[in-house]
Amino acid sequence: MEGRWSRVAFGAAVLCLLIGVVAVHAQLSGTQSWAVTLAGQYAINANLTYATANNTELKLDVYRPRDKDMHPTMLFFHGGGMVGGAKEGSAFAILPFLEKGWTVVNVEYRLAKVSRAPASIEDGRCALRWVYQNAKMYNFDTSRIVTMGQSAGGNLALMLGYLPADSEFDRQCNGTEDLKVAAVLDWYGVTDWNDLLEGTNQRNYAMTWFGSQPDRQQIAKTASPLTYIRTGLPPTLMIQGNEDPNVPYTQSLRLQKALSDAKVPNQLVTIQAKTHGNFNDAAMNDAYTQLWAFLAKYVPGPVQTSSK
């Protein structure tokens, strides 16, 4: 219980810090007046349990406008190679969506120290189903759900958009909802896990997530977005540095080609950088300019009036 309350307190502290920092910036620049009233405009539901697995309660945070309108909803998944990271540590990434009036669901999932691959994908599907099942309570617009993630979170965002309706990853959280995603925003995510398990592109985090499972190559295939490419997938935006040291840039190139061959709307934003994320301000501004243009094309309209 003490751990649970400490996490709640930590989440609240992070939010206060975010609001305070951005508000100060707004006072200095005069361009972000929305931050001053952000706390009054948004309701926060922190550490809601969306599923239980391996005796672990899986949590998510909901940031939602206080009005009664149905808002486009972004499910966010943090990075960390499936071995680290936390939803609280990625809170800055959701601020641009709050400014635009979106609802954001910030999702945690099981890491390798709790469960090996592909547990986190099961968790992601459970989170998406939870959003569908709680749409009326939180005013989620299920026709405009977008998944976004960074690094390993990018893999999850892609998987949620690409998995077929009869996916084996839905066994943990059953339901009758048709889980559809309007668009996917992939920030330097993994698209082919087998590429990282051996050879020149081998990465320790991939080895840790899959462990010594005897069928790990087959599991890696089922956990890779490239396995599910077909016509009719949601529009996909990819953003990655061309010399990314953690996830080979070639993975985004391969995904772009596969999507184009399948006639799936897609765009690859290439950033001239030798970093895994951590892009400079100019690169981030350009990436978000293209991101908003992409969403305006495929997920139009910031707010729809509720029929309530």
The residue with tokens 């899986």 is 58
Residues 6+ apart with CB under 8 A from 261: 229
Length of the chain in terms of residues written: 308
Q: Determine, yes or no, domain membership for 61.
A: yes
pLDDT in tens, 152-170: 999 999 999 999 988 899 9
Burial of 31 (0-12, 13-18, 19+ CB in 10 A): exposed
Per-residue pLDDT, 2: 38
Nearest Cα to 150, choosing from 246, 286, 264?
246
Distance CA 46, CA 135 (A): 16
The domain total for the chain is 1
In a domain, 212, yes or no: yes
Which pLDDT belongs to residue 267? 98
- Residue 218 makes CB contacts below 8 A (sequence gap 6+) with none
Q: Do 187 and 156 form a contact (C-beta atoms < 8 A)?
A: no
Question: Would 9 be classed as within a structural domain?
Answer: no
Residue 305, in any domain of the structure: no
Residues with pLDDT less than 70, the chain = 1-37, 302-308
pLDDT in tens, 61-116: 999 999 989 999 999 999 999 999 999 998 899 999 998 999 999 999 999 999 99
Q: Quick one: which of 142, 111, 128 has its CA closest to 170?
A: 128
* Residue 147, in any domain of the structure: yes
Three-class SS of the chain: CHHHHHHHHHHHHHHHHHHHHHHHHHHHHCCCHHHHHHHHHEEEEEEEEEEEECCEEEEEEEEEECCCCEEEEEEEECCCCCCCCCHHHHHHHHHHHHHCCCEEEEECCCCCCCCCCCHHHHHHHHHHHHHHHCHHHHCEEEEEEEEEEECHHHHHHHHHHHCCCCCHHHCCCCCCCCCCCCEEEEECCCCCCHHHCCCCCCCHHHHHHHCCCCCHHHHHHHCCHHHHCCCCCCCEEEEEECCCCCCCHHHHHHHHHHHHHCCCCEEEEEECCCCCCCCCHHHHHHHHHHHHHHHHHHCCCCCECCCC
Q: Is residue 244 part of a domain?
A: yes
Residue 46 lies in a domain: yes
pLDDT at residue 4, rounded to an integer: 43
Among the listed residues 222, 136, 230, 126, the one whose alpha carbon sits nearest the alpha carbon of residue 179: 126
pTM of the model: 0.89
**Domain at 71, CATH number:** 3.40.50.1820
| Residue 304 is assigned to a structural domain of this protein | no
Structural domain harbouring 284: 39-298
